[in-house]
């Protein structure tokens, strides 16, 4: 596949046309209640249809949270399939927030589900967890590169519980040349930084297949100076992050920075016009703040 059809090229085109904001489609039970919809697959479908009408053509990306569809079993998945298909057919990019991660043939099956041509769940990108080892994601990264899609790999997430694991230090060693067989450590990086470094190495082909998930709610403590791929930054709005925070936290990583908001926009539903206006407002604030 030529770079002209790569994920990086497609993403840049979408950002150029409709800005960099990514809006969640999250039919959380509390939002279904607030919108006067039943906590059923039918309620989720009505919720999704309203979101599609409001957001398609106004923002570059939408991000359905798979768990809120999965909760209703096969009926919920059928709604998700239809939502993904309609959004993609209209030219808006879909990031499936599935956070898949496994090894070998299981990871390959997950990859085929979310990134394979012809799959009913095929999206433009999917979120994935590298915490079985970055190499465990190889089947997904290979398929994404082949099909012009992306994989957003969790690096430093917005939830406070992630800090202890993601900030833990890893010792890179130089072998056993020290006396008595001791191994001499040459450097120590955080778990999250090791994910960034692996992503940098994978993206050297220029396709930007590997993106990172880096929360916007706190200082991430990462060296992103070598990373030129997309960064999905959750936490804008209801979780407390502001556009000013984005400009400060990601001061050297703005080209493909994709701020993500969900509840801060979705609370304006079920009115399509109010949802659309809220998304446009946040989109324009983001573009002005990161210009």
Residue numbers annotated as active site: 99
3-state SS of 184-223? CEEEEEEHHHHHHHHHHHHHHHCCCCEEEEECCCCCCCCC
* DSSP SS3 for 175: coil
Rounded Cα gap, residues 17 and 10, in angstroms: 11
- Distance, CA of 78 to CA of 86 (rounded, Å): 12
Find how far residue 241's CA is from the centre of its chain.
16
Q: Are strands 231-234 and 169-173 parallel, antiparallel or unpaired?
A: unpaired
The Cα–Cα gap between 77 and 75 comes to: 5
């Amino acid at each position: 596949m030529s770079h002209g059809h790569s994920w990086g090229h497609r993403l840049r085109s979408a950002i150029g046309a409709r800005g960099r904001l990514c809006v969640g489609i999250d039919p959380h039970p509390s939002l279904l209640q607030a919108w006067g919809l039943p906590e059923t697959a039918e309620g989720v479908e009505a919720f999704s249809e309203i979101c599609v009408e409001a957001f398609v053509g106004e923002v570059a990306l939408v991000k359905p949270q798979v768990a809120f569809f999965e909760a209703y079993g096969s009926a919920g998945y059928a709604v998700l399939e239809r939502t993904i298909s309609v959004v993609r057919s209209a030219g808006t990019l879909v990031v499936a927030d599935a956070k898949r991660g496994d090894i070998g043939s299981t990871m390959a099956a997950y990859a085929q589900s979310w990134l394979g041509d012809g799959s009913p769940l095929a999206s433009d990108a999917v979120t994935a967890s590298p915490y079985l080892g970055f190499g465990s994601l190889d089947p997904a990264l290979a398929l994404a590169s082949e099909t012009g899609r992306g994989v957003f790999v969790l690096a430093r997430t917005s939830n406070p519980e992630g800090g202890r694991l993601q900030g833990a230090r890893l010792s890179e060693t130089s072998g056993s040349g020290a006396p008595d067989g001791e191994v001499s450590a040459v450097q120590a990086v955080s778990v999250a930084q090791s994910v960034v470094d692996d992503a940098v190495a994978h993206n050297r082909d220029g396709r930007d297949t590997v993106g990172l998930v880096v929360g916007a709610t706190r200082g991430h403590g990462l060296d992103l100076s070598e990373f030129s791929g997309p960064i999905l930054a959750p936490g804008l709005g209801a979780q407390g992050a502001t556009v000013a925070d984005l400009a400060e936290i990601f001061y050297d990583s703005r080209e493909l920075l994709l701020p993500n908001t969900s509840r801060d926009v979705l609370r304006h539903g079920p009115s399509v016009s109010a949802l659309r206006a809220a998304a446009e407002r946040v989109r324009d604030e983001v573009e002005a703040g990161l210009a």
